[in-house]
């Protein structure tokens, strides 16, 4: 919970978090090593200096640390926990649903557990998705279209098999499709992170919501064009938001463009934990004001109401969370723990 100076409570749903394991004994090959090293690069480059972790902690922080950083030291009320399998790089996967379920058990009222699928898994993957949905009652999945699989360096959402998976997801009530469309960890050519495929699937699957994580950065212009045409396309602010600290002018530019093209109802806060921790992100975001000249030039504003939507209410809508009821649930389960 974040409280404004005037005492108003802001309900925070962190739309993009991970509980990964990149410890040495889980790394399969040099790609796995380089992958986590690159993440650490992001962490050190954009975090405030006093928020930089030692590398060992970054490699594998574990469930307790995550609970502490999000819900005790951090302002998150809830967090959406995403999967990233990367089984070609990590022996037991980087960030699997089984691993994430540990966190769900630790904080059942606070964690929204998401699944994942990969259309290259064919029929067997469809069955696995069904089993995952039954076991974990997921309402969302995270897709990583650039993931390596054997010789394949990625897929597109418009592939025939991807359509079958999306149809299946829709049938199973998995209505929130988070798609990583962001920077680096790039395959041979950048097509696998191209945002154009979102345009097609968003039109063809009106019952699904597509949350484009990282807003397609660095292809913000392409993403804005697509998002403005599709009512069911959302922007996830993970990776864009940390620029608020190191490059404020740049963040101003990005957020004002997003407000102009998508609007305040279509943006979701995400810390991308453990790359960044939510506390400083939320504090800086709450303190952030658009400069007057930007407000005038672009005709947008980042009001308190807009911030509330971005920080939690939009995600609550997508995941059918009744904020008041959820607050009570969380308060009740926290006090039980204290009593115990």
Partner 1 sequence: MTLDHTKCEAAVRRALDRVTDPELDEPVTDLRFIERLTVGHDGSVSIGFRLPTYWCAANFAFLMADDMRREVGELPWVRKVQVTLGEHMYADKINHGLEHGLSFQATFGDEASAELDDLRRTFLVKAFQRRQESLLRHLTTLGYKPATIVSMTLPQLQALPIGPEGGPLRQRYVDRREVCAGPDTTLAFVDTHCSPLSADTLLAYLQALGRVTINAEFNGALCRGLLAARFNEDGEPSLYDFARMAPGKAV
Q: How far is the CB of 296 from partner 1 (least distance, A)?
A: 12
Compute the distance between CA of residue 111 and CA of residue 101 in angstroms, rounded to an integer: 9
Q: Whose Cβ is closer to partner 1: residue 67's or residue 251's?
A: 251
Q: Taking CB under 8 A as the rule, does residue 184 contact partner 1?
A: yes
Q: Taking CB under 8 A as the rule, does residue 22 contact partner 1?
A: no
DSSP letters, 19-44, are -----GGGB-SHHHHHHHHHHHHHHH
- CA 71 to chain CA mean position, Å: 17
Beta bridge mates, 53: none
Cβ atoms of residues 109 and 321 within 8 Å: no
Q: Pick from 67, 46, 56, 81: which is nearest to 242 by CA?
A: 46
Tokens read off for 249: 């002018």
Q: Taking CB under 8 A as the rule, does residue 34 contact partner 1?
A: yes
Q: Taking CB under 8 A as the rule, does residue 283 contact partner 1?
A: no
Residues near 56 by beta carbon (within 8 Å), at least 6 away in sequence: none
Q: Taking CB under 8 A as the rule, does residue 56 contact partner 1?
A: no
CB hemisphere CA count around 145 (13 angstroms):
27
- Applying CB under 8 A, among 64, 189, 204, 322 the residue interacting with partner 1 is 189
Q: Taking CB under 8 A as the rule, does residue 288 contact partner 1?
A: no
Cβ atoms of residues 202 and 230 within 8 Å: yes
Site for partner 1, residues 132 to 161, rule: CB under 8 A: 153
Q: Whose Cβ is closer to partner 1: residue 23's or residue 45's?
A: 45
Q: How far is the CB of 281 from partner 1 (least distance, A)?
A: 17
Q: What angle do CA 227, 231, 234 make, to 5 degrees?
A: 50
Q: What angle do CA 243, 190, 233 make, to 5 degrees?
A: 60
Of 3-11, 34-42, 267-275, 323-331, which segment contacts partner 1 by CB under 8 A?
A: 34-42
Q: Taking CB under 8 A as the rule, does residue 124 contact partner 1?
A: no
Q: Whose Cβ is closer to partner 1: residue 175's or residue 214's?
A: 214
Q: Whose Cβ is closer to partner 1: residue 117's or residue 251's?
A: 251
- Applying CB under 8 A, among 185, 208, 212, 313 the residue interacting with partner 1 is 185
Of 29-37, 56-64, 87-95, 201-209, which segment contacts partner 1 by CB under 8 A?
A: 29-37
- Applying CB under 8 A, among 46, 179, 227, 268 the residue interacting with partner 1 is 46
Compute the distance between CA of residue 302 and CA of residue 299 in angstroms, rounded to an integer: 11
Cβ atoms of residues 142 and 84 within 8 Å: yes
Compute the distance between CA of residue 123 and CA of residue 24 in angstroms, rounded to an integer: 33
Q: Whose Cβ is closer to partner 1: residue 31's or residue 168's?
A: 31
> How many residues belong to the site for partner 1 (CB under 8 A)?
36
Site for partner 1, residues 217 to 246, rule: CB under 8 A: 217-221, 224, 243, 246
Q: Whose Cβ is closer to partner 1: residue 114's or residue 256's?
A: 256
Cβ atoms of residues 210 and 163 within 8 Å: no
Cβ atoms of residues 99 and 63 within 8 Å: no
Report the interface residues with partner 1, using CB under 8 A: 31, 34-35, 37-38, 40-42, 44-46, 153, 183-186, 188-191, 217-221, 224, 243, 246-247, 249-250, 253-254, 257, 297-298
């Amino acid at each position: 919970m974040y409280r404004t100076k005037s005492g108003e409570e802001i309900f925070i749903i962190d739309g993009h978090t991970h509980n990964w394991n990149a410890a040495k004994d889980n790394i399969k090959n040099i790609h796995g090593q380089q992958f986590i090293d690159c993440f650490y690069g992001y962490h050190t480059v954009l975090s405030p200096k006093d928020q930089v972790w030692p590398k060992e902690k970054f490699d594998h922080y574990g469930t307790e640390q995550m609970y502490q950083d999000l819900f005790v030291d951090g302002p998150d009320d809830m967090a959406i926990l995403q999967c990233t399998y990367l089984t070609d790089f990590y022996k037991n996967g980087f960030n699997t649903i089984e691993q994430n379920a540990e966190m769900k058990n630790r904080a059942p009222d606070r964690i929204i557990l998401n699944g994942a699928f990969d259309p290259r898994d064919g029929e067997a993957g469809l069955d696995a998705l069904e089993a995952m949905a039954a076991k974990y009652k997921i309402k969302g999945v995270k897709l990583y279209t650039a993931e390596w699989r054997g010789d394949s360096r990625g897929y597109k959402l418009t592939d025939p098999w991807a359509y079958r998976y999306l149809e299946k997801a829709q049938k199973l009530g998995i209505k929130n499709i988070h798609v990583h469309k962001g920077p680096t960890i790039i395959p041979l050519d950048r097509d696998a992170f191209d945002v154009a495929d979102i345009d097609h699937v968003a039109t063809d699957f009106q019952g699904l919501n597509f949350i484009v994580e990282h807003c397609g950065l660095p292809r913000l212009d392409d993403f804005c064009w697509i998002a403005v045409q599709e009512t069911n396309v959302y922007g996830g602010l993970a990776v864009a938001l940390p620029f608020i600290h190191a490059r404020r002018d740049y963040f101003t530019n990005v957020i004002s463009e997003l407000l102009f093209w998508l609007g305040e109802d279509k943006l979701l806060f995400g810390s991308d934990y453990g790359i960044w921790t939510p506390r400083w992100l939320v504090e800086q975001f709450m303190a952030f004001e658009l400069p007057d000249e930007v407000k005038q030039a672009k005709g947008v504003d980042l009001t308190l109401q807009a911030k509330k939507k971005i920080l939690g209410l939009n995600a609550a809508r997508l995941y059918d969370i009744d904020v008041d009821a959820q607050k009570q649930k969380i308060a009740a389960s926290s006090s039980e723990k204290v009593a115990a």
